[in-house]
Structure 1
Amino acid sequence: MKKALLVIDVQESFRQLPIWAAISNPGIVDKINPLVEAARDADDLVMWVRHSEPGTGGVFDPVNGFVEYLPGLRPARGEYEFIKTSHNVFTTTNIQQILTTHGVGELVVTGIRTEQCCETTARVSSDLGYTTTFVTEATATNPVEHRDAPAGRSLDEILADPRTLPVADIIERTEYALAGRFATVATVEEALASWQD
């Protein structure tokens, strides 16, 4: 079965946010690149996705120049690139059409944020009938403030708040929610091995 590796939102926008200092996986590029090479070596698709919020004036507004890949990530000539404006990669792009055209039946999910765009994409992917692998080690997220927390707090205040959900809990919850329901949860090593089988 033909596979596609999704590299979701691994972009400069996130590094511009103060919460980046508490990111779960600052070396995410080093986790994704071996998967990119494995997919290319297997002649599978590598599909690059970035998130954009035009007109907002923030770090996801393309006019500010941060909707670019993190250093060390580079699409090869001919690889598909998508700009999305929703959490999952399907709703606001033509990715499903391209996957269908190429006969892809399996998706491997990586990117930022673990519980947000990556998890949402994995859920939709499963609902659309794709065999989905979620490579948690090749995702990253940040602590999440409680829904009632006041806006505009410093990183220290966010981290000191006992109601803030730490990254370990977010990652664990995501894996519990996905495994056996929407995706196979895999390590980088396991995902690489699947390309060698």
Structure 2
Amino acid sequence: MSHSALLIIDVQHSFQHRPFWQEHDLPAFQQALTRLIAGCQRQGVALVDVFHVAAEGPFSLASGYVKRLPFLTHQADVTVHKQVHNALTDSGLDAWLRERQINHLIISGMRTEQCCETTTRVASDLGYKVTFVTEATLTFPMQHPDGTLFTPEQLKRHTETVLVNRFATLASVDEVLAQL
């Protein structure tokens, strides 16, 4: 049996102070993430809050924005700060997980194709079993240098395509909770 942890990556006020912030997909994300957290809590899964920090701007600790979005009310088992795109290499999280013999990571959070995807790839390379819960991730439109605009749904589908059967198993909130 695996020991699991739910990583709640970068669900922080900092993003509300970036020019790309929009709330179109926020209600569905909130509902999915809240259900995932509650279900993981009932199953005794470790909850890990991960916050991105930078030297300046809205991601700096001095900004006061490096804190959970208000819909999150859970008690985390551990909170870590990262300065890179993945949650494992500079935060001390890998050591914390290994000390507790946690070998299965459930990925949720903000910026599906960036910090969530990068954490998934690194976790897989470090030997963790990884479950990626796309519906419990949030991202925003991005523009390619040639001007093509990619929607959040397109970015999520691309992330799923490159992760599945290589770096992670894809699962819905209901599927994850049924498998725990």
Coarse TM-score class (shorter-chain normalised): over 0.9
TM-superposed deviation, 1:27? 3.9
Query: Are the aligned partners of 2:37 and 2:74 in contact in 1 as well (CA < 8 Å)?
Result: no
Query: Are the aligned partners of 1:109 and 1:118 in contact in 2 as well (CA < 8 Å)?
Result: yes
1:180 maps to what in 2? Answer: 165
TM-score, with length taken from structure 2: 0.93
Q: 2:42 is matched by which residue type in structure 1?
A: D
What are the Cα deviations for residues 143-186 of structure 1, in whole angstroms up to 9, with x where unaligned? 112236xxxxxxxxxxxx5x122212111100000000000111
Query: Are the aligned partners of 1:134 and 1:186 in contact in 2 as well (CA < 8 Å)?
Result: yes
Aligned residues: 179
Unaligned segments of structure 1, at least 5 residues: 149-160
Query: Are the aligned partners of 1:47 and 1:81 in contact in 2 as well (CA < 8 Å)?
Result: yes
Work out the CA distance in 2 between the residues paired with 1:10 and 1:169: 21
Larger radius of gyration: 1
2:47 maps to what in 1? Answer: 46
SS of equivalent to 1:71: coil
Work out the CA distance in 1 between the residues paired with 2:115 and 2:40: 21
SS of equivalent to 1:20: coil
| RMSD between superposed Cα atoms in Å | 1.6
- The change in CA–CA distance for 1:23 and 1:94 in structure 2 (over 3 A counts) is farther
2:67 maps to what in 1? Answer: 68
Query: Are the aligned partners of 1:25 and 1:139 in contact in 2 as well (CA < 8 Å)?
Result: no
Query: Are the aligned partners of 1:122 and 1:182 in contact in 2 as well (CA < 8 Å)?
Result: yes
Matched, 1:10 2:11: yes
Q: Which runs of 4+ in 1 moved over 3 A?
A: 22-27
TM-superposed deviation, 1:23? 5.4
Unaligned segments of structure 2, at least 5 residues: none
1:153 maps to what in 2? Answer: none
TM-score, with length taken from structure 1: 0.85
2:150 maps to what in 1? Answer: 165
What are the Cα deviations for residues 30-82 of structure 1, in whole angstroms up to 9, with x where unaligned? 2112222222222221111011102x2x2112211111100121341x61000
Work out the CA distance in 2 between the residues paired with 1:36 and 1:167: 22
Matched, 1:191 2:176: yes
Query: Are the aligned partners of 1:85 and 1:92 in contact in 2 as well (CA < 8 Å)?
Result: yes
Query: Are the aligned partners of 1:23 and 1:141 in contact in 2 as well (CA < 8 Å)?
Result: no
Matched, 1:132 2:130: yes
Query: Are the aligned partners of 1:3 and 1:108 in contact in 2 as well (CA < 8 Å)?
Result: yes
Identity, % of aligned positions: 38
1:98 maps to what in 2? Answer: 96
TM-superposed deviation, 1:92? 1.1
- The change in CA–CA distance for 1:51 and 1:67 in structure 2 (over 3 A counts) is same
Work out the CA distance in 1 between the residues paired with 2:23 and 2:74: 27
